[in-house]
Amino acid sequence: MKAAIYVRVSTLEQAQHGFSIRGQHERCLSFVQSQGWDVERIITDDGQSAKNLDRPGMQELIEGVKNKEFDVVVVYRLDRMVRNVFDLHQLLNMFDEHGCSFKSVTEVFDTTTAMGRFFITIVGAMASWERENLAERVKMGMSRMVKEGRWHGGRTPYGYMYDGKQLVVHDEEASVVKMIFDKYTNGIGAGKICRDLNEQGYKPRKAKIWDVSLVHQVLKNPAYMGKFRYQGELHDVYGLSIISEHQFETAQKIRKARADKHPRRSGGKYIFSGMLRCARCGSRLNGKYNTSRTNEYYTYVCAGKNNGICDLPSLNEKYVEEQFIMQLEEIASEYEAQSQVAMEEQVEEEKIRDDIERQINSIKKRRKKWQEAFANDVITLDELKERTADDNEQLQELEQQLHEIQEKEEDVSNVDILTVTENWSVLSKEDKKVTVEVLAEKIIVNAENGVMGRGRKRKMWIDDIFFL
């Protein structure tokens, strides 16, 4: 059999325990000769630690085994080769895969005998046990971090960066995230948003340009409202929200509306398809398409008129649009003064919210210190319970205050839907349709009767809009 002798020693071990390279050479060489094996190569790692397999000599040994240059690997003692049960299990599997045996001169680790292989099986079981233990400890540690409102690791989302200790908001990217959500919740589609971003020179983190899929990755990520997903559940990570929870939920509502009721699948080219109701008979108005030599017309006809129970005239879509926007502008003007006051209050509440979040983080850090103090016998179990109970009481009160502020912020942010009027003229018909579906449940319409003379526009109006 062709044998490879592997010897290793670190400088510290040689000084403290006398594990000399020469001594290992002699013992291993004597053993190989006693077995009648041929020494194919002696591989040495001098002054190298066994904390991992990243050693010049070890890499040479692994390469030789894979090339089937040796039939058996001989070491003076197991810890000369590895100190980690994972690495041992990895090496033994690799040896077995390439038909190479393993023998420790001073121990029972010997894959050339039945007893030796039995001990190797035990090592494999130990490796599995340690691996599962490590996974469980990592899982527990990450769960604790999440419960304490800290970043649990993983790929850093766009809009954030890792400063070596914790996740923090990346100001430049966060402004892009806000821009995406502001545009989307004001009726602008993902295609138009990515074109705007590219035209204005904004760059995504890895791709060369923004595309629709990247915009949707941002829109559906709950991280931007300060909630990070871990094991299928959302957890609050304080101080990392870029947008409000209400704006995020509004974006999800729009995304669902676009997915479930895309204009090409629901009413095609009609902005108000399925939304208009007759003020006279309560029937639904259906879209109708007409053309002339120079123009095309989109109109809405009451279903009751077709059934002979209603006399509501046909409505031109252009006029319905005008009335719809006028209604929104009236609502916007009514709330203008209120929204200004609300925005001023929101600035103050944001300061209060930041202070509350700092207090919450401080309490969570303090609770961790109490636990460490108990573990080190600095305080008793009763003292730990007492201090933890005080902290929990304060934490519950602060979280309630934070929840109340967040609810107020949601009420204030309702005003952002009304800014649709500013963007309406630049929206495509598809975007207009989705915007209407997100804003309203139904729109009650009416119009004057009679035959209109040439050049005279039929007067029509909206009796009511039932907002969602």
Domain match, 113 and 229 both: no
Residue linked to tokens 């007893």: 115
Domain match, 86 and 171 both: no
Alpha-carbon distance of 255 to 219, in angstroms, equals 9
Q: What are residue 460's DSSP bridge partners?
A: 447
Domain match, 129 and 169 both: no
Residue 208: inside a domain, yes or no?
A: yes
Domain match, 55 and 103 both: yes
Residue 419: inside a domain, yes or no?
A: no
Helix axes 56-66, 85-97, angle to 10 degrees: 30
Tell me if 69 sits within 8 A of 41, measured CB to CB.
Answer: yes
The pLDDT tens digits of the residues spanning 162-182 come to 877 777 899 999 999 999 999
CATH of the domain at 25: 3.40.50.1390
Residue 332: inside a domain, yes or no?
A: no
Alpha-carbon distance of 238 to 228, in angstroms, equals 10
- Among 181-195, 244-258, 371-385, the minimum mean pLDDT is found in 371-385
Domain match, 90 and 191 both: no
pLDDT bracket for residue 138 (50, 70, 90): low
For residue 172, give the amino acid letter.
Answer: E
Domain match, 10 and 82 both: yes
Domain final position from 260, 294, 315: 260
* Phi–psi pair at 467, nearest 5 degrees: -75, 150
Alpha-carbon distance of 462 to 442, in angstroms, equals 11
Residue 434: inside a domain, yes or no?
A: no
Is the pTM higher than 0.75? The answer reads no
Residue 425: inside a domain, yes or no?
A: no
DSSP output for 216-285: HHHHT-GGGGTEEEETTEEEE-TT--SS-HHHHHHHHHHHHHHHHS-TTTTTTT-TTTTTEEETTT-PBE
pLDDT bracket for residue 15 (50, 70, 90): very low
Give the H/E segment covering residue 106.
Answer: none
The pLDDT tens digits of the residues spanning 246-294 come to 889 989 988 887 776 544 444 467 899 889 999 999 999 999 988 877 7
CATH of the domain at 234: 3.90.1750.20
Residue 19 has pLDDT above 70, yes or no: no
Residue ranges with strand state E in 263-343: 276-278, 285-291, 296-302, 315-316
Residue 41: inside a domain, yes or no?
A: yes
What whole-number percentage of the chain has pLDDT above 70? 78
Domain final position from 237, 260, 283: 260
pLDDT bracket for residue 14 (50, 70, 90): low
Domain match, 89 and 27 both: yes
In the three-class reduction of DSSP (H, G, I as helix; E, B as strand; rest coil), residue 80 is classed as: helix
Alpha-carbon distance of 53 to 2, in angstroms, equals 23
Q: Give the residue numbers spanning the domain of 52.
A: 2-136
**107: which 2 tokens?**
């121990």
Buried b (16+ CB within 10 A) or exposed e, 368-385: eebeeebeeeebeeeebe
Residue 295: inside a domain, yes or no?
A: no
Q: Are strands 101-104 and 72-75 parallel, antiparallel or unpaired?
A: parallel
Domain final position from 260, 286, 302: 260
Tell me if 42 sits within 8 A of 5, measured CB to CB.
Answer: yes
Catalytic residue among 10, 49, 266, 428: 10
Alpha-carbon distance of 315 to 462, in angstroms, equals 11
Residue 221: inside a domain, yes or no?
A: yes
The pLDDT tens digits of the residues spanning 54-98 come to 899 999 999 999 999 999 999 988 878 887 777 887 888 899 899
Domain match, 108 and 234 both: no
Domain match, 28 and 109 both: yes
Domain match, 79 and 115 both: yes
Average pLDDT estimate for 210-225: 92
Quote the number of domains for the chain: 2
Alpha-carbon distance of 88 to 423, in angstroms, equals 65
Q: Please classify residue 126 by burial: count the beta carbons closer than 10 Å to its beta carbon, then call 0-12 exposed, 13-18 middle and 19+ buried.
A: middle
Alpha-carbon distance of 459 to 345, in angstroms, equals 42
Domain match, 94 and 211 both: no
Q: Provide the mean pLDDT of the chain.
A: 81
Question: Is 10 one of the catalytic residues?
Answer: yes
Q: How far is CA 57 from CA 12, 152, 390, in A?
A: 18, 37, 58
Q: How far is CA 370 from CA 151, 356, 364, 391, in A?
A: 21, 21, 10, 10
Rounded CA Rg of the chain: 36
**175: which 2 tokens?**
């402004």
Alpha-carbon distance of 67 to 55, in angstroms, equals 18
10 Å Cβ neighbour count for 241? 19
Domain match, 41 and 86 both: yes
